Amino acid sequence: MKLRDLEYLVAVADQRNFHRAAEICGVSQPTLSAQIRKLEDELGLPLFERSPRKVALTRAGSLLLARARRVLDEVAQIRAEADNLRETGTPSLHLGVFPTLGPYLLPRVIPRFLKQFPGVELMLTEEKSSSLTRKLVDGHLDAALLALPVMDSHLTGRVLFDEPFRLAVPDNHPLARENPPIGPDMLAGQHLMLLEKGHCLRDQALELCRNAGAREYDDFRATSLETLRQMVIAGVGMTLLPALACRQTEGMAVLPVASDQFRRRIGLFWRKSTSHEKLMNGLADLLGQIAGDLLNDPSASPAG
């Protein structure tokens, strides 16, 4: 039995889907499935009930899952301690952030972080939320900025800020002539461009569209917020953008929506067993302050 086998087990249990688990683990589905089968053969017990539409843990799988999580958590701590005891002796902080937040917040955070924590080496990873959560649990990250809810029992953290969504429309769109904020009912019947699958922002925006009676623009999936912004400017359609991504509005109208539902809640998360909780709380204070300043004053300078 190898640690990688336990990582595969946890990924399948979390995702309830072999294909998504394989993507998160960075292997092909046949490779992951074969390793799970080998683990079941080694133990002499089935760990999953498989059907075309559903993957469920057996009783043996549930019992092994709890132990696997504990083992991986201990390994994560070993990795974290090793990272902090490099030959240079420089403490390090490996922070993860998802792509629809990182470019708009981190350039404002890094200069302040380097001033406030001069003895800490900061490393950054930008990936989708599901990958960040797995890397955080596995010890490959020390902390991660994530959109709530975060349901992993190995993690703790702090809520930092609520970021409103804005409706971005072309300058010549009829909604651009409305007096903001607009009501969510004005989205009824509209088609919105969204990000491709795998982005947490896509799931949030899709739910808001459905609640407001809007629909997804079927013929297009964007890979980034910048692509969405350029498509709006080109007059292709409308979209929802997080407020921190709305600092450049030339060529489009950005409209606040009169609803508390049109927002996402961002938090900083780390493992409950971390030995650097003081640093995590200091980072959380800094992130919350900078994000609050930006949301209240979009013209705030990058260096703060």
What is the tens place of the pLDDT at every residue in 284-295?
999 999 999 999
The CATH number of residue 69's host domain is: 1.10.10.10
Cα-based distances in Å from 133 to 153, 261, 281, 286? 11, 24, 19, 21
* Domain shared by 205 and 246, yes or no: yes
The pLDDT value recorded for residue 298 is: 56
> Which amino acid belongs to residue 212?
A
* Domain shared by 111 and 255, yes or no: no
Which of 83, 109, 124 lies at the terminal end of a domain, its last residue?
83
The pLDDT value recorded for residue 92 is: 82
* Domain shared by 135 and 271, yes or no: yes
Which of 24, 55, 83 lies at the terminal end of a domain, its last residue?
83
Could you tell me the residue range of the domain that residue 270 belongs to? 92-161+265-296
Spans of the chain below 50 pLDDT: 87-88, 300-304
* Domain shared by 72 and 10, yes or no: yes
* Domain shared by 33 and 167, yes or no: no
> How many structural domains are present in the chain?
3
* Domain shared by 195 and 258, yes or no: yes
* Domain shared by 129 and 157, yes or no: yes
* Domain shared by 214 and 254, yes or no: yes
Measured CA to CA, the distance from residue 19 to residue 28 in angstroms comes to: 8
**In this structure, is residue 196 part of a structural domain?**
yes
* Domain shared by 133 and 59, yes or no: no
Place of tokens 């994560």: 76
**In this structure, is residue 302 part of a structural domain?**
no
* Domain shared by 109 and 72, yes or no: no
The pLDDT value recorded for residue 112 is: 95
The pLDDT value recorded for residue 304 is: 38
The CATH number of residue 192's host domain is: 3.40.190.10
Give the SS3 label for residue 182.
strand
The pLDDT value recorded for residue 51 is: 82
* Domain shared by 61 and 97, yes or no: no
Measured CA to CA, the distance from residue 191 to residue 8 in angstroms comes to: 38
The pLDDT value recorded for residue 52 is: 77
Nearest to 221 by CA among 239, 242, 244: 239
* Domain shared by 168 and 255, yes or no: yes
The pLDDT value recorded for residue 83 is: 65
CB 117 within 8 A of CB 276: no
Answer whether 0.85 is exceeded by the pTM.
no
